[in-house]
């Protein structure tokens, strides 16, 4: 990741076309970074030990009524949002280090945070449901700045920001805005796109990209110029998943509700080239009716495999090259949590609306264990938080407002 950050710093340092203001902007490399999906390429894989054999809960801390945000670990602290605001918890004990209430205007009513954090060089960046992007001191929770993007039209998308090269990038109404890490001043603005991004932002040294509602193309933005390109001939309909980037290949997933056709999980990959190349591989699994369902989860890519859950409760392992299905696992509820993989022990972790977190062997797809993390409300437990895995512990947000550490 550090090499990518340095490359982008070099790109920005020589670029003036992307600046929204005439003031001189001096880009710099980001020295440390922790963010959702373990990096700006959003693969969902991290080089650490997981929990191949579960002991139980290490701690459980109440932070609100519901947690849709995904935890991010940085320098011994877990950072996570809830319906009441943003929280920092001690990684060993779960004790609250600080919290920042996010309110609706000047009222006492909570607005909350569904965005996951991006932590860089001692500051935490996230999107509040009050429409602001926040820069907060990671140690004490002091707000350094908060700002509403010019292109947001009052409807800021609550995805995790992407922080690099002295800028905080965020998805706006129909483009991407960039803010100076020090001042919060909006100094970068991409060319307006035809339709808004409906998923988080993925980056490499040349491009920022995501998915759009129609799914008939992949919006690609040049980091250096802010110009809009497109990868065409993709039919990933009604996209809500953040794409992953591995070895120059884009992996996307789709809700795939097309007209009156059956619903099914769809996954695709294509190569990213400067001319916006066409799709190279796409699959519409011809599955039995009971297995067809939408997929809101973001694809996880590691070790030549793609891992993806869907609303039927099925969790699929695909071959990353052919997209053939290698294995399936069935949970008792919807799977909208994106999976996380611990590279050192080859385990994949995800949650389901049945209230459980699951651990599977990534090679065989066989379940190693499950753990009840949320009580069922009516028919299911709405768990969308993505597991953070590190040093033999898994951290996850729950539908009843807790952050749980499982070891």
According to DSSP, the β-strands at 72-74 and 57-62 are unpaired
Instruction: Determine the 3-state secondary structure of 11 from DSSP.
Output: helix
Report, as an integer, the average pLDDT of 374-398.
Answer: 88
Residue 86 has pLDDT above 90, yes or no: yes
Q: Angle CA(65)–CA(70)–CA(72) in degrees, nearest 5?
A: 120
Per-residue pLDDT tens digits for 201-232: 888 887 887 776 665 566 777 777 777 666 65
Rounded CA-CA distance 183/160 in Å is 19
Sorted by where each begins, the domain ranges of the chain are 2-406
Q: What residue ranges in 15-76 does DSSP mark as E strands?
A: 33-35, 45-46, 57-62, 72-74
Work out the pLDDT band at 191, boundaries 50, 70, 90. low
Give me 96's structure tokens: 């609250």
Q: What is the pLDDT of residue 153?
A: 60
Rounded CA-CA distance 167/367 in Å is 41
Q: What is the pLDDT of residue 271?
A: 73
Highest mean pLDDT of the ranges 2-6, 164-168, 283-287, 393-397: 393-397
Task: Indicate the burial class of 184 (C-beta count within 10 angstroms; 0-12, 13-18, 19 or more).
Answer: middle
Q: What is the pLDDT of residue 164?
A: 85
DSSP 117-169: PEEETTEEEEE-TTS-EEEEETTT--EEEEE--TTSTT----SPPEEETTEEE
Which of these, 353, 355, 306, 300, lies nearest to 327 by C-alpha position? 306
Residue 40 has pLDDT above 70, yes or no: yes
What are residue 274's phi and psi, to 5 degrees?
Answer: -65, -25
Highest mean pLDDT of the ranges 49-63, 176-190, 226-240, 324-338: 49-63
Report, as an integer, the average pLDDT of 22-31.
Answer: 55
Per-residue pLDDT tens digits for 129-165: 888 999 999 999 999 999 988 766 655 556 788 998 8
Work out the pLDDT band at 272, boundaries 50, 70, 90. low
Conformational region of residue 365, where left means phi above 0, alpha means psi within -120 to 50, and beta covers everything else? left
Report, as an integer, the average pLDDT of 310-327.
Answer: 88
Using a pLDDT cut of 90, give the percent of the chain over it.
46
Q: What is the pLDDT of residue 312?
A: 84
Side-chain half-sphere exposure of 361, counting CA atoms within 13 A: 7
- CB count within 10 Å of CB 219 equals 25
Per-residue pLDDT tens digits for 229-267: 666 555 565 667 788 989 878 888 776 544 445 455 567
Residue 173 has pLDDT above 90, yes or no: no
Q: What is the pLDDT of residue 177?
A: 84
Q: What is the pLDDT of residue 195?
A: 59
Q: What is the pLDDT of residue 28?
A: 65
- CB count within 10 Å of CB 381 equals 22
Supply the DSSP symbol for 21. S
Residue 399 has pLDDT above 60, yes or no: yes
Spatial contact of 387 and 349, defined as CB atoms under 8 Å apart = yes
Model pTM above 0.85: yes
Residue 23 has pLDDT above 80, yes or no: no
Report, as an integer, the average pLDDT of 15-29.
Answer: 41
Spatial contact of 165 and 28, defined as CB atoms under 8 Å apart = yes
Q: What is the pLDDT of residue 233?
A: 53
Cα 261 to Cα 284, 334, 336, distances in angstroms? 12, 20, 21
Q: Count how many residues are written for the chain.
A: 407
Rounded CA-CA distance 41/1 in Å is 9
Report, as an integer, the average pLDDT of 73-95.
Answer: 97
As a three-state string, the secondary structure of 326-392 is EEEEECCCCCCCCCEEECCCCEEEEECCCCEEEEEECCCCCEEEEEECCCCECCECCCCCCCEEECC
Lowest-confidence pick of 10-19, 35-44, 187-196 = 10-19
Longest Cα–Cα distance of the chain, Å, equals 59
Residue 21 has pLDDT above 60, yes or no: no
Per-residue pLDDT tens digits for 98-132: 999 998 877 778 889 999 999 999 999 999 988 89
Superfamily of domain 2-406, CATH level 4:
YVTN repeat-like/Quinoprotein amine dehydrogenase (2.130.10.10)
Using a pLDDT cut of 70, give the percent of the chain over it.
74
Conformational region of residue 108, where left means phi above 0, alpha means psi within -120 to 50, and beta covers everything else? alpha
Report, as an integer, the average pLDDT of 325-330.
Answer: 92
pLDDT averaged over every residue in the chain: 81
């Amino acid at each position: 990741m550090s090499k990518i950050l340095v490359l982008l710093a070099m790109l920005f340092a020589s670029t003036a076309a992307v600046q929204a203001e005439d003031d001189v902007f001096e880009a710099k490399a980001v020295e440390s970074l922790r963010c959702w999906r373990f990096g700006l390429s959003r693969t969902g894989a991290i080089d650490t030990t997981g929990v191949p054999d579960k002991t139980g809960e290490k701690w459980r801390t109440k932070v609100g009524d519901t947690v849709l945000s995904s935890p991010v670990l940085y320098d011994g602290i877990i950072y996570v949002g809830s319906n009441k605001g943003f929280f920092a918890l001690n990684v060993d004990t779960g004790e609250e280090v600080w919290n920042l209430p996010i309110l609706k205007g000047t009222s006492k009513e909570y607005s909350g945070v569904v965005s996951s954090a991006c932590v860089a060089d001692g500051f935490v960046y996230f999107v509040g449901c009050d429409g602001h992007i926040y820069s907060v001191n990671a140690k004490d929770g002091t707000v350094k700045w908060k700002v509403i993007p010019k292109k947001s039209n009052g409807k800021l998308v609550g995805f995790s920001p992407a922080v690099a090269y002295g800028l905080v990038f965020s998805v706006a109404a129909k483009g991407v805005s960039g803010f100076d890490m020090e001042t919060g001043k909006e100094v970068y603005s991409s060319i307006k796109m035809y339709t808004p991004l409906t998923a988080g932002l993925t980056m490499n040294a040349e491009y920022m990209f995501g998915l759009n509602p129609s799914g008939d193309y992949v919006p690609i933005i040049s980091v250096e110029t802010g110009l809009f390109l497109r990868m065409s001939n993709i039919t990933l309909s009604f996209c809500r998943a953040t794409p992953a980037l591995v070895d120059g290949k884009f992996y996307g997933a789709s809700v795939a509700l097309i007209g009156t056709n059956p619903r099914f999980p769809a996954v695709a990959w294509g190569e990213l080239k400067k001319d916006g190349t066409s799709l190279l591989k796409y699959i519409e699994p011809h599955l039995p009716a009971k297995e067809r369902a939408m997929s809101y989860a973001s694809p996880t890519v590691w070790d030549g495999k793609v891992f993806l859950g869907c609303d039927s409760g099925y969790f699929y392992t695909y071959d990353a090259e052919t997209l053939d299905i290698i294995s399936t696992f069935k949970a008792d509820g919807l799977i909208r949590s994106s999976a996380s993989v611990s590279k050192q022990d080859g385990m994949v972790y995800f949650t389901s609306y049945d209230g459980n977190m699951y651990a599977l062997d990534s090679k065989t797809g066989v379940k190693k264990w499950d753990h009840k993390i949320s009580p069922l409300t009516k028919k299911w437990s709405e768990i969308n938080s993505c597991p953070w895995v590190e040093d033999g512990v898994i951290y996850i947000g729950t539908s009843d407002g807790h952050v749980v550490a499982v070891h």
